[in-house]
Structure 1
Amino acid sequence: MSKVVLITGASSGIGLSIANFLTEKGYTVYGTSRSPKNIEDYTFKLIKLEVTKEDSIKKAVQSIVDAEGRLDVLINNAGKGITGAIEETPTDEMRMVFDTNFFGAIDTMKEVLPYMRQQKYGRIINITSIAGYMGLPFRGIYSATKGALELVTEATNMEVKNFGIHAINVAPGDFATKIAKGRYHTPVYNDSAYKETYQRNLDLMNEHVSDGDDPIKMAKAIYGIIESKNPKIHYKVSNFLGKLSIVLKRILPDTMFQKMLMNHYKL
């Protein structure tokens, strides 16, 4: 029987790549977008879903279960970026990013879990980030949303494992996507104490995304995780430097690791 997969945020980038790839592999894939009518170049079923609205989540999940009779895999990919010094970033914008990256993922998990528990099988794959393993300058809120999701996934995995369900984190590094266009950027204020360092870091962030890996790398990793009989709790899909940074965070003294980060980001 073909597995039924729900992927949030499948209109572009990593989500779109995963959805198309899994469709090629024979899965029944439902991708979501806030505006499905504006999307092109997809091979899967595309439905409307806004992860910050519980009614929208409920309607989308119910429509899939009504049509297919089951829901085997949830991939929480919908996300929003945010940049800026903590001091200068509006708190309302911080909350909006948490609503999407963190609470949106939780609300979608809560909606699919009863169906997965009933069928005694399910895979919940939360797309986090290498940034979730450390606080990055001018990306502190984004790091916080992804780090929080990592911990919630760990807790959820222990709660649902007896029901035949696995909750899994997949942390990507830099990929060539359009995420930079969808970020909330705190303006670079002319009178800001952070003007030069923030602008320099914005340039670095955009450069890293432009030079990032092909999203197909993530799609292949997700396919392998779904097919695995005993998936791990944490996966990192990144270049060597991204994976190394996590190892160094664990083994180096805090002050030494922070100094390395500050040198890397030219602070």
Structure 2
Amino acid sequence: MIAGVTHVTMEAGLEHGIALGIALGFELDFVDRVRLPAAFEGVEDSDHTLPLALLAGLRGIRLEVVQHRKPSGRRGAYSGIFRCPPPAPAHPVAGRRAIRDVLLRAGALADPTCRAVAGPDGEAWFEPSAAAGGLVGLLCHAEDVRAEAEFWSAFARARWTTVGPDAAWGSLSSPLFPAECRLVIVRGDGARPPHAMNDSGFPSIGLGSTAVDADRARAVAAGATVRSEPIVTDVGGRPLRMALIETPGGAPVELLSVHRSAPR
């Protein structure tokens, strides 16, 4: 069963990413180097170790910072939605008025402001006048908004306020009480290349799972594509069982065992 959103991943140099996360209202939990087979993410030619930092969020959902050896340079599948002012330096992003209007209608932010963080392609949305910090939601693109919303409903019990041909908004649960993650889907333009785990900005999210294999099968039945077979690796001093899937709209999602005694 899917327990909900555990973290959002940000691609950045580790020191810069940690500093940025702290500016966004997170607190550093640990830094690690995670062993991954080449086939898991599909962005390296051989098995490798991935520098990683995990930061705890005031609202529960965590920020994971990773530093790939060769970032793709393309914009990641997700944009973070943060209830805090944009950190400095953060550069304005033009041409996002339609998405701003969707975020206003969704009630995600009172004054949505898009800025480039973690590189020029790392987009995120902020609330300039807010004093709080932490992640409140995620925004992603899909060519078929309704199909993407149906997937999230069937697979992770998303609760929708509005689902239309051009945009949908609702929420996903999180095992990190009392967190709840807003989810906003907007229609893509069909011009974006396939997403990769080493994309800039926010390339993937993590979902807590009580049974990775069963949940992976459920995801496929709901329309997802398998990107990797499950693996077990140590993260932060304990073994985690992980699998990687792709939503119908092409967004990468990690399934993570929440059991402390994950099988090796």
Fold match (TM-score > 0.5): no
Higher strand residue share: 2
Higher helix residue share: 1
Larger RCO, structure (CA 8 Å, separation 6 or more):
2
Q: What's the TM-score bracket when you normalise by the shorter of the two chains?
A: under 0.3
Q: Which has the larger radius of gyration?
A: 1
